[in-house]
Amino acid sequence: MKYDVTIGIPVYNAEKYIRQAMDSALAQTYKSIEFLILDDCGSDSSLSIIREYQETHPRGADIHILSQPQNMGVSAARNRIIDEAQGCFLFFMDADDLLEPRVISLLMEHQQRTGADIVYGSYDKIETYNDNKVVATVRYPSIELNGDGCLAEYAWHKYGNLQTTIWNYVVDVEMLRRSKVRFIDTDFWEDMAFTFDLLPYCQHAVLLPDITYHYLCHYDSLSKYQDRTQINKEEVIRNIATVDYMKIQCIKAKKKPYLPKRCLNVLRTDIYVLCYILKNAHKITPSFSRHELKTIMTHPATLPEIMDFPHDRIKNLMFYLLSRLPARMVVWIMTIIGKIKGLI
């Protein structure tokens, strides 16, 4: 490999934010970095701005631009970055976020000390439309994990124990390529599906409490979802299909000790999807039938498999039994749960 690390940035119509993103990436104190930009054929001046950096910045020779033949979406863009990266380790970054100057130095320092397959930093979520207010901080404990499925076991021990974002970590490129883990072709939760597929292959991981990444939540992107008056049913179905994909992947993990908790994580995601539909039922056209809503809660395991679970048997059994109830009762129960949790 030519570089120690590749920072991979998919870019599509990001002219409002790409300068600050590039400035923070190029300000890294670590030296051996490839800045791999994947142009997804947007219609604004993003590419021209990046070429300006390529021509004028002291690190311009390390900025490499790849262009898709046509707009193919973020999943295809990230997959090409995986295939084309010239770094031994890969760090994904979104085109509208910011890095701390020492993020790569810090992550690689721990990677080189431990030999880990993957090293995570912690991060802030910042609302840029609210005076740059930090609304959430995801801070991991300082921990090193070893062994088959160690990161998967840790991630699924508790829902949300490990975020499903695909940025703010360095991951071994050769391990990634050997595993053949790729982003699935979907517009929704592709990062969650990718994370679910990747974790079982990581046999040595390090998590750090240091804030290294700033996830910027812009009003113009958030309002696309919050201010809508109509939602196409097909869009929601594609969302459900991503969760169904993760259920299929659960089945492939039958012999793994983390399977019961992985099932619970996917089923809790089902709850969020179903509550989203119930909350926005007046906006979704055409509407979902009760039977369609019930099928969302299908358990990925069979009853005999659940009864053989070494742990979390009761919780999984409750989800399984819920999915066997009449559709009207499933919707009623989920409405109550959604209201209790503040999801509806």
Dump pLDDT digits (tens) for 279-334.
Answer: 999 999 999 999 999 999 999 999 999 999 999 999 999 999 999 999 999 999 99
194 contacts: CB under 8 Å, gap ≥ 6? 78, 166, 181, 182, 183, 184
Of all residues in the chain, the percent with pLDDT exceeding 90 is 83
Q: What pTM did the predictor assign? A: 0.91
Instruction: Compute the mean pLDDT over every residue in the chain, rounded to the nearest whole number.
Output: 93
- Stretch 149-176: mean pLDDT, rounded? 88
Instruction: Tell me what pLDDT residue 160 has.
Output: 64
Domain map of the chain by residue range? 3-222, 228-340
pLDDT of residue 222 exceeding 50, the answer is: no
- Euclidean distance between CA atoms 269 and 252, whole angstroms: 19
Which of 125, 127, 129, 106 is CA-nearest to residue 116? 106
288 contacts: CB under 8 Å, gap ≥ 6? 233, 236, 277, 281
Q: What are the backbone angles phi and psi of residue 307, rounded to the nearest 5°?
A: -65, -20
Dump pLDDT digits (tens) for 63-83.
Answer: 999 999 999 999 999 999 999
Lowest mean per-residue pLDDT among 15-29, 179-193, 219-233, 282-296: 219-233
- The distance of Cα 124 from the centroid of its chain, to the nearest Å, equals 15
- Stretch 192-213: mean pLDDT, rounded? 95
pLDDT of residue 223 exceeding 50, the answer is: no
- Euclidean distance between CA atoms 197 and 299, whole angstroms: 18
- Euclidean distance between CA atoms 24 and 36, whole angstroms: 14
pLDDT of residue 158 exceeding 80, the answer is: no
Peptide bond preceding 310 in cis form (omega within 30 of 0): no
Structure-model confidence comparison of residues 285 and 134, the more confident one: 285
Instruction: Tell me what pLDDT residue 227 has.
Output: 63
- Euclidean distance between CA atoms 152 and 150, whole angstroms: 6
Which of 218, 244, 176, 173 is CA-nearest to residue 13? 218
Strands 169-172 and 118-127 come out as antiparallel
Using the Cα atoms of residue 190, residue 193, residue 198 and residue 204 in order, give the sign of their dihedral. positive
pLDDT of residue 84 exceeding 50, the answer is: yes
Instruction: Tell me what pLDDT residue 183 has.
Output: 96
Dump pLDDT digits (tens) for 36-63.
Answer: 999 999 999 999 999 999 999 999 999 9
Structure-model confidence comparison of residues 170 and 256, the more confident one: 170
To which H or E segment does residue 190 belong?
helix 190-198
Of all residues in the chain, the percent with pLDDT exceeding 70 is 95
CATH architecture of 3-222: Alpha-Beta Complex (3.90)
Instruction: Tell me what pLDDT residue 225 has.
Output: 52
Instruction: Tell me what pLDDT residue 159 has.
Output: 59
- Euclidean distance between CA atoms 188 and 195, whole angstroms: 13
The confidence band for 220, taking pLDDT boundaries of 50, 70 and 90, is low
Which of 182, 4, 191, 22 is CA-nearest to residue 86? 4
